[in-house]
Amino acid sequence: MDEIEFEWGESKNIKNQEKHQGVSFNEAQYAFFDKNRIIAEDLNHSPESVSPLRHSE
């Protein structure tokens, strides 16, 4: 498996912490490696154009 590297700017990291109750990008990156993670679509915050789980009828 290829190694994944994350990179972020400190100002964006600070804004993220303000928005997400103090969760830094450094902490958040571990969610990608959690074998017990659950990935769910957020229909209220996922525009149709970027949501791979939405289907057109």
**38 vs 49, higher pLDDT:** 38
- Residue 21 pLDDT more than 70? yes
Q: Which helix (H) or strand (E) holds 53?
A: none
Nearest alpha-carbon partner for 27 in 36, 16, 37: 16
Structure tokens at 41: 């679509």
CB 41 within 8 A of CB 51: yes
Average pLDDT over the chain, rounded to whole?
A: 80
Rounded CA-CA distance 40/10 in Å is: 28
Query: Is the four-CA dihedral 18, 8, 6, 42 of positive or negative sign?
Result: positive
Q: Estimate to the nearest angstrom the gap between the alpha carbon of 4 and the chain centroid.
A: 14
